[in-house]
Amino acid sequence: MDFFDVVHTQRSIRRFKPDAVPDEAIWKMIDAAIRAPSGSNTQPWGWLVVRDEGKKRVLADAIRAGFEEGGRLQQMRENAAKIEDPTQRRMMERAVEFFGNVAAAPVLIIPCLVSLTSPVSNIDSLFAGSSIYGAVQNLMLAARAQGLGTVLTTFNIAHEDLLRREFGLPDNVRPVAVVPVGYPQGQRFGPTTRKPAETVTHWDGWGATRDR
């Protein structure tokens, strides 16, 4: 696929066909991920690929339980039902369904930042992200280029202890995202819409925007 077609049609996919994702497709995603730049080319990453149904279920149950606390998921469901615009309503219903059943994705990929020198507690600055989230973006674009859907989530934040325990993460390893992967069901890829580039591009000084 053409590079710009891939970039302009990547969108968050939250409903997946049950079809298995072949090993070869996963290798191709990770081969793309690791081409991204990292500080001093240290490549400080690991890619945890989860297909085991039991392990996916443990994580998905914890995520659902988190959303159900204080009736939050039910509230979201009721709010979604009241949305008048059918496209908006369907999007919201799909998000609620997704939060309740993350294990429905055939694969979860959990990108991890790996420190060669520090315990994980020291890996917590905005700028450390420059050596991993570019690689995560390559991973997701390479999925799109193969017709696979992904969605970037940070469920890892609320469930780091569980991930650490369930997958045996060492002290110098920190999960930075949870990326469900699968063939899209009932959802098409983009083109996506965004705030126009003209409104977020500043020429030689903040606030100096202009038309093209």
Structure tokens at 62: 């914890």
DSSP labels, 140-188: HHHHHHTT-EE--B-HHHHTHHHHHHHTT--TTEEE--BEEEE-BSS--
Taking a C-beta distance cutoff of 8 angstroms, is the pair 180, 110 a contact?
no
Q: How far is the CB of 73 from a copy of itself (least distance, A)?
A: 17
User: Which of residues 14, 15, 36, 102 is near a copy of itself by CB under 8 A?
Assistant: 36
10 Å CB burial of residue 202 (0-12, 13-18, 19+) is exposed
Contact segment (CB under 8 A) with a copy of itself among 45-53, 59-67, 79-87, 180-188 equals 45-53
Residues 74-133 that bind a copy of itself (CB under 8 A): 113, 123-130, 132-133
User: Which of residues 55, 64, 89, 90 is near a copy of itself by CB under 8 A?
Assistant: 55
User: Which of residues 69, 70, 121, 168 is near a copy of itself by CB under 8 A?
Assistant: 168
Q: How far is the CB of 161 from a copy of itself (least distance, A)?
A: 15
* Residues 145-164 as x/- pattern, contact with a copy of itself by CB under 8 A: x-----xx-x--x-------
Taking a C-beta distance cutoff of 8 angstroms, is the pair 177, 156 a contact?
yes
Nearer to a copy of itself, 75 or 192 (CB): 192
Please tell me whether the peptide bond between 22 and the residue prior to it is cis, using omega within 30 degrees of 0: no
Q: How far is the CB of 3 from a copy of itself (least distance, A)?
A: 5
Sign of the CA dihedral 53, 151, 127, 63? negative
User: Which of residues 143, 148, 177, 181 is near a copy of itself by CB under 8 A?
Assistant: 177
141 contacts a copy of itself (rule: CB under 8 A): yes
Structure tokens at 132: 């991993």
